[in-house]
Structure 1
Amino acid sequence: MSIRDGASHTEQAHRSGTEHGLIVSRVAALTRIAMGLLFLWAFADKTFGLGYATGSGNAWINGGSPTRGFLSGVEVGPFAGTLRSWAGAWWADWLFMAGLLGIGAALLVGIGLRLAAITGTLMMLLMWVAEWPLDRITEAGEPTRSTNPLIEYHVIYALVLILLAAISAGHTWGLGHRWEQLTQHRPWLR
């Protein structure tokens, strides 16, 4: 093996690592954008009653409550009564909708991913608590339809949000680099 062959192998390994990094960053960017659209879709459906999870009569702009349907149906867990009492409260509606919009917009644009990960994880934790997948039976004695007591979609969403922030997924196909420059003295905003 000559020196030239060794250099060629090193260059090829570097190129392969660069290609791998490019693929990973693009998949992360697609995941970030998809998660952003997921949050924004929930916001739009609850705001305008697009007929998927929310009918037009229950739309927020028509006086409906984005939290009433979900929270009033909480029938399991140690916080069931508290969560039911929050159903339809103006502050719960506004916090929930601001969270959906803010987290979704941050993910879509690729800025504020740390803040989006923190607030999104908190939202997912509260939704996990509301569904309380640890219980198999509701207060009324009906099956909860829980399929896994710990790892369910709210946990996965929270982990994805944390991962996207940790790897700076807003740098690819987003405004992450520019946002870091603007917030260099306020890292908590990144």
Structure 2
Amino acid sequence: MATTVNTSGRQTATATGKHPVDYVWAIARISIGWIFLWAFLDKTFGWGFATPANRAWVAGGSPTTGFLKGTGENALGGFFGSLAGQAWVDWLFMAGLLGIGLALVLGIGTRIAAGAGTLMLVLMWAAELPLANNPFLDEHLIYSIVLIGLALAGAGTTFGLGNLPILQRTPWLK
């Protein structure tokens, strides 16, 4: 339906109750969800993008070793390097990628996924300190900011399952 313009010149909600920005947040949610989900799939099956087939998780590879072993020279490299290849770290990391990815793509548990995704991304950012190309900011922090925006915007209700009655009755699951 049509949008209207208020006296400040900003668009207001359509007849469906959605503001045009809701659709932008929904696309951002699905896009970042796909980044997490794709990382899970590629690391699991080694489809040759970031993970070669012989290093796939299903082939006995460790999804955390490559990244974490590469942090050895970094400020927190000793800590993060010691986690590389440990089974519990691999399982936690992969469960996080899958859970965050599915939740964001489906629009269910968006707030929880945004919090978990932000934590994961900030830890990955910390593992890379000091950054090679910027003294402070990289894509991990940008994605974290977007995830926080998704949670605050309630982005699971547009193009997602966040409008399911159980989610409407349980706000922390939105």
TM-score bucket (shorter structure): 0.7 to 0.9
How many Å apart are 1:126 and its aligned residue?
0.9
- The one-letter code matched in structure 1 to 2:6 is A
- C-alpha distance in 2 between matches for 1:172 and 1:154: 25
In the alignment, which residue of structure 2 is the partner of 1:102? 99
1:125 aligns with 2:111: no
- C-alpha distance in 2 between matches for 1:34 and 1:27: 10
Over 3 Å counting, the alpha-carbon distance change for 1:156 and 1:16 in structure 2 is closer
- C-alpha distance in 2 between matches for 1:130 and 1:68: 13
Contact 2:53–2:59 under 8 Å retained in 1:
yes
In the alignment, which residue of structure 1 is the partner of 2:19? 22
Q: Using structure 1 for the length normalisation, give the TM-score.
A: 0.81
In the alignment, which residue of structure 2 is the partner of 1:183? 170
How many Å apart are 1:182 and its aligned residue?
4.5
- C-alpha distance in 2 between matches for 1:109 and 1:165: 14
In the alignment, which residue of structure 2 is the partner of 1:111? 108
Contact 1:25–1:172 under 8 Å retained in 2:
yes
Equivalent of residue 167 in structure 1, options 137, 149, 153: 153
What is the RMSD of the two structures over their aligned residues, measured on CA atoms?
2.1
Deviations 1:95-140 (A, max 9, x none): 1000000000000000111111111111011100111135xxxxxx
- The one-letter code matched in structure 1 to 2:168 is Q
Structure with the largest fraction of helix = 1
Query: Structure 2: 5+ residue runs without aligned partners?
Result: none
In the alignment, which residue of structure 2 is the partner of 1:33? 30
- C-alpha distance in 2 between matches for 1:98 and 1:80: 23
In the alignment, which residue of structure 2 is the partner of 1:156? 142
Q: Which of structures 1 and 2 has the bigger CA Rg?
A: 1
- The one-letter code matched in structure 1 to 2:170 is T
Query: Structure 1: 5+ residue runs without aligned partners?
Result: 1-10, 135-145
How many Å apart are 1:91 and its aligned residue?
0.6
Contact 1:76–1:131 under 8 Å retained in 2:
no
Over 3 Å counting, the alpha-carbon distance change for 1:18 and 1:73 in structure 2 is same
Moved more, 22-31 or 96-105: 22-31
The structure 1 segments of at least 4 consecutive aligned residues displaced by more than 6 Å after TM superposition are none
Over 3 Å counting, the alpha-carbon distance change for 1:12 and 1:112 in structure 2 is closer
Superposed, 1:9-88 pairs within 5 Å as 13=6, 16-19=11-14, 22-88=19-85
Q: SS of the counterpart of 1:18? A: coil
How many Å apart are 1:154 and its aligned residue?
0.3
Task: Count the aligned residue pairs.
Answer: 166
Q: Using structure 2 for the length normalisation, give the TM-score.
A: 0.88
Contact 1:66–1:97 under 8 Å retained in 2:
yes
